[in-house]
Amino acid sequence: MKPADLKSPFRWEQRQIIIEDRVWYVPDQHLSDKQFEFPGWKHEQTFSQDQPVYVEYCSGNGAWIADKAQQELHCNWVAIERKFERARKIWSKIKNHELNNLLVVCGEGYKATQSFFPSESVDAAFINFPDPWPKKRHAKHRIVHPAFVQEVHRILKQGKTFTLVTDDEAYSEIMIEVMCQNPGFESVFEAPYFVSEYSGYGSSYFEELWREKGKMIRYHVFRKL
């Protein structure tokens, strides 16, 4: 299956929240009068098998999470990507590799989490190379902010981890500051609270790109207290 084979299930003026064919559509503004009720992680629309749930934010084209889903079939994986053009690339990987343990959420990560994800239902959360929005006037667009971190804390089970990865030094410092301000998390790594090599983590398009350009990758891991 090619990414172009996935067509939007509704027109823009009819947008609504639905789960269809391994894609969970969460438009920024849905117009349907129907009240959407999340069926839970153990449902035929999401995952029929009761397995640990791992969530990745900012999944891009899905290279990292699709590879993880293939390697770790005993886990259920949730890819969150706002852009439809990228979400359909993840869907293509799901179809071509028959990944019934991978679901893609086409929507904004913070809003989807806040609105629908049950408390203490996730076994691990990841955010890989989010847009750093380096200009001050664009800071409001950064996904790593106190309210988002609190939502991740809410959905994680006790003792589970939130991993943040970036190549941007300034954004790394912001991530550390925001995470350390939340009393519900502790860093797995001692100061300076990141490592530049993380064996077994997996690779992605952006990791390979930035390493080729000589950039250092920063891995941050925080545990829910």
Catalytic residues: 131
Beta bridge partners of residue 25, listed in sequence order: 18, 106
> Which residue has tokens 């891009």?
60
Report which residue type is found at 72: E
Amino acid (one-letter) located at 216 = M
DSSP string, 106-154: EE-HHHHHHHHPPTT-EEEEEEES-----SGGGGGG-S-SHHHHHHHHH
Say whether 5 counts as a known binding-site residue.
no
Characterize 204-221 residue by residue with b for buried, 16 or more Cβ atoms within 10 angstroms of its Cβ, and e for exposed. bebbeebeeeeeebbbbb
State yes or no: 44 annotated in a binding site.
no
111 is in an annotated binding site: no
Residue 50 annotated as binding site: no
Q: Are 81 and 105 in contact (CB under 8 A)?
A: yes
21 annotated among ligand-binding-site residues = no
Which DSSP category does 98 fall into? T
Annotated binding site: 56, 81, 108, 131, 135, 167
The binding site for S-adenosyl-L-methionine consists of 56, 81, 108, 131
Annotated binding site for substrate: 135, 167
